[in-house]
A and B are shown apart, each in its own frame.
Chain A
Amino acid sequence: MQQQLRAPGWHIGRTRGKPFTAFGMQVVPIGFAVHVSWPGGGFTWHRPVAVEVRHGDDVRRLAIHDVTLEAIVSIVMTGIAIVILSTSWKRWIHTKRRNIS
């Protein structure tokens, strides 16, 4: 992981953490990283994506959702949709009235 992040240039991809075992289950954290480096600087963005749970032969993958981001995006998209729809509706009403008069 460290070696991947230290590579010069850029790196985009999945990362896997150290497996953790508890109650007979092995949990492997999976992340998604974007790393860009240039001479004298760089940028890294890393977020968790899922956890892989191994219980015997059974392997399950539990997704990690960013609920805060999803809520903010929903609110903003709803607001934009309301604005566009109401503007179009008002314009339509106005055109209709102008045509009648």
Chain B
Amino acid sequence: MIDVEKEMQPTISGTAQVMSKMIDVANVDAVFGKPVEHGETVIIPCGEVAMGGGMGFGSGPGGTSEQGKLLTSAGGGAGGGVNARPIAVIVISPEGVQVKPIIDTTKVVLAAFTTGAFMLYWLSQVGRITRTARGKGLSFTRLKRAIER
């Protein structure tokens, strides 16, 4: 098992380095883009960056060979994700500096639809419960009374 881990060590350290470098990419340069000159204005895009990743490695007994030797098996996995979205642009002109926000309409509309659907569902449930309690709908009390008759 130890031999397998030793053999796999370069791969593990290489993957860990790649993972570490990937996470380190989310520095200030990734959040604030390169200034773009356009006529008499300079535009600096800025956005939010989120990155995460992880890796794992394990080894264990892998049965016996035809010669009766004990075999070991090893395996590993790595995964990660990146999320980046624009937040605003900084406009520098001879008149001054302005921060112009960027709104993601799709996300806002989706949030509005989801909230609206949740509200409708919740309010319909509340209305149903209230009607049932008033005796206009189905209730266990009415069902019990019907059985007793």
CA distance A87 to B123 in the complex (A): 7
| A53 and B97 within 8 A (CB) | yes
Q: Quick one: given A37-B20, A40-B56, A41-B55, are A46 and B87 in contact (CB under 8 Å)?
A: no
User: Which of B35, B48, B85, B127: most chain A Cβ within 10 A?
Assistant: B48
* A97 nearest CB neighbor, chain B only: B134
B104 shortest CB reach to chain A, Å: 4
Which residues of chain B come closer than 8 Å to A86, judged between CB atoms? 123, 126
| B24 and A25 within 8 A (CB) | no
Does A83 touch B at the CB level, under 8 Å? Answer: yes
Interface size on A, residues (CB 8 A): 53
A50 shortest CB reach to chain B, Å: 8
A4 shortest CB reach to chain B, Å: 9
| B46 and A48 within 8 A (CB) | yes
CA distance A56 to B88 in the complex (A): 25
B48 shortest CB reach to chain A, Å: 4
What sequence of 0s and 1s flags, for each residue 29-42 of chain A, a beta carbon within 8 Å of any chain B beta carbon?
10101010111111
Does A100 touch B at the CB level, under 8 Å? Answer: no
Q: Quick one: given A41-B53, A44-B26, A63-B99, are A17 and B42 in contact (CB under 8 Å)?
A: no
Interface size on B, residues (CB 8 A): 57
Name the one of A31, A44, A68, A87 contacting B51, with C-beta atoms under 8 angstroms: A44
For the A-B complex, the count of residue pairs with Cβ-Cβ distances under 8 Å equals 176
Which residues of chain A come closer than 8 Å to B52, judged between CB atoms? 41-44
A19 shortest CB reach to chain B, Å: 11
| A75 and B24 within 8 A (CB) | no
Q: Quick one: given A15-B28, A53-B97, are A76 and B103 in contact (CB under 8 Å)?
A: no
Does B111 touch A at the CB level, under 8 Å? Answer: yes
Which residues of chain A come closer than 8 Å to B97, judged between CB atoms? 25, 27, 51, 53, 60, 62
Stretch from B61-69, B113-121, B138-146 that touches the partner: B113-121
What sequence of 0s and 1s flags, for each residue 51-84 of chain A, a beta carbon within 8 Å of any chain B beta carbon?
1010000001011111110011001101100110
26 contacts between A and B (CB under 8 A): A2-B24, A15-B31, A17-B29, A17-B32, A18-B28, A18-B29, A22-B35, A22-B92, A27-B92, A29-B28, A29-B44, A31-B28, A43-B23, A46-B49, A47-B31, A48-B46, A62-B99, A64-B88, A68-B87, A68-B104, A71-B111, A72-B111, A78-B115, A83-B118, A83-B119, A83-B122
